[in-house]
Amino acid sequence: MTPAAGTTMAQALNAALRDALDGDERVLVFGEDVGPLGGVFRVTDGLTAKFGEDRCFDTPLAESGIVGFAVGMAMGGFRPVVEMQFDAFAYPAFEQIASHVAKMRNRTRGRVELPIVIRIPYAGGIGGVEHHCDSSEGYYAHTPGLKVVTPATVADAYSLLREAIDDPDPVIFLEPKKLYWSKAQVALPARTEPFGRAAIRRPGADATVVAYGPAVPVALEAAEAAAEEGWDLEVLDLRTIVPFDDDTVVASVRRTGRCVVLSEAAGFGGVGAEIAARVQERCFHSLLAPVLRVTGFDIPYPPPMLEHHHLPSVDRILDALDRLQRDDEPDTRYLLAGGVA
């Protein structure tokens, strides 16, 4: 049932965990303060009370140990869902993730599955400091063997987390902290598109803005501001970084002829760079302007009073639109009718 005031993303995630625990006794939830406290962001609120300390429990403050324990539990037939309290807190566990979680299926020629979900609250916009606001998706997306998921809507938060828990392979589930309190009128349980399908959140004709996670609401706000200046932007929400939906991205960019990639993470060597490269490789003859990126700066995460300069903003997106050579005479020789080249 949907509360009259709407469901928050945190409540949707809580419902997904609750339903997964209720539906499969192999599902376990553990991490730092996820038990009686309900987690720093209350995503696990009430789960210990309902399912007991054997199904939802606290761990020591040792992230490498948490993930290593999850590997053993998964090999023993369980489906662990672990929480890293903040994004950069997961770095001590990265050796376990990169060397064992990601490689176990390949290492055992498919004989050993690791159905582990590693939930990571990530990205900025909450006035936090370094170690609390990193956008670490690039590390995981660059590690073969991991799926990397990041919802931007309340319905996706529920649906993608349920799919992650059901997945036979490890999933890095990145939760945008600043969207925990976003609300929507959603009837749960909800099922949206599966992994590997991007969503067009706003159709448009003049340029495609590719975004994911916390950048999606910013892209939509920029699209409304751009409309006042005569731009009709299409906003594309990737939903899953790995697997990547090339088909939807390519079809959109070939239709609009221009592309801006939006990401909170640092621009150098990041997911935004990979997206720009893939668009360039697949849409070159349909592009009317260079692919541009609007990202965080190539610096450690700044103090709270400065984060609004660091994070992609509506103004920075509008500045990028001005650089898309809209007033230049386009070369339309390779654009076919219907937008498919």
Residues with active-site annotation = 132
The answer to whether 73 and 28 are in contact (CB under 8 A) is: yes
Amino acid in position 142? H
Report CA 106 to chain centroid distance, whole Å: 25
C-beta neighbour count of 291 within 10 angstroms: 22
Residue linked to tokens 């991490």: 31
- Cα 134 to Cα 155: distance, rounded to the nearest angstrom: 24
In order, the DSSP letters of 204-248 are -SSEEEEE-TTHHHHHHHHHHHHHTTT--EEEEE-SEEES--HHH
- Cα 340 to Cα 198: distance, rounded to the nearest angstrom: 18
3-state secondary structure labels for all residues of 81-149: EEECCCHHHHHHHHHHHHHHHCCHHHHCCCCCCCCCEEEEEECCCCCCCCCCCCCCHHHHHCCCCCEEE
The answer to whether 160 and 151 are in contact (CB under 8 A) is: yes
- Cα 341 to Cα 335: distance, rounded to the nearest angstrom: 6
